[in-house]
């Protein structure tokens, strides 16, 4: 029984660490975009080769829509990141993060036909860090342990 208790604590700690690390990554990406007003999703969308490339073309062709997408992306990353880092509304933040990352993935999935060197991080085939983070966020969303350490714990305690 003691082994199971220790194992459960390690699992909780690992899950909280994953939540925090992915949250930090998303928060930083959002803050970077916010403090660099010249940033735009234009280049990413213009190079889209995935299932959503038609939608990407439509977004790129309309400056108003592109500006809206840029703002939603920036503030969405910040909100999701804060939720995950602070452990506040964890399930919603994790699901929103998963959805956003899956959109990124579907706009530009790493297929064998993708341009070589398109990624500055390496070469992928079907599985990328974006997809891995999305799946981890889905796991965090469906696991009750993920809200054990953070502001959700306090929120539930005082609103029970």
How many Cα atoms within 13 Å fall on the side-chain side of residue 67? 3
> Per-residue pLDDT for the chain (160 aa), expressed as one digit of tens each?
676 788 888 888 899 999 999 999 999 999 999 999 999 999 999 999 989 999 999 999 999 999 999 999 999 999 999 999 999 999 999 999 999 999 999 999 987 655 554 554 667 788 999 999 999 999 999 987 666 788 888 877 777 6
Contact status, residue 144 vs residue 151, Cβ threshold 8 Å: no
> Where are the chain's structural domains?
20-158
Return the number of other C-beta atoms located less than 10 Å from residue 150's C-beta: 21
pTM for this entry: 0.88
């Amino acid at each position: 029984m003691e082994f199971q208790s220790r194992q459960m604590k390690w699992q909780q700690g690992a899950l909280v660490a994953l939540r925090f690390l992915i949250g930090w990554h998303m928060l930083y990406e959002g803050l970077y975009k916010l403090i660099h007003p010249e940033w735009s999703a234009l280049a990413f969308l213009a190079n889209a080769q995935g299932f959503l490339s038609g939608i990407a073309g439509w977004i790129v062709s309309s400056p108003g829509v592109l500006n809206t997408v840029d703002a939603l992306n920036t503030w969405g990353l910040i909100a999701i990141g804060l939720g995950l880092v602070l452990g506040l509304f964890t399930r919603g933040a994790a699901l929103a993060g998963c959805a956003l990352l899956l959109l990124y993935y579907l706009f530009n999935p790493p297929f064998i036909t993708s341009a070589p060197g398109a990624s500055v991080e390496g070469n992928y085939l079907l599985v990328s860090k974006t997809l891995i983070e999305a799946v981890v966020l889905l796991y965090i969303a469906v696991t009750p342990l993920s809200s054990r350490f953070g502001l959700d714990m306090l929120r539930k305690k005082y609103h029970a």
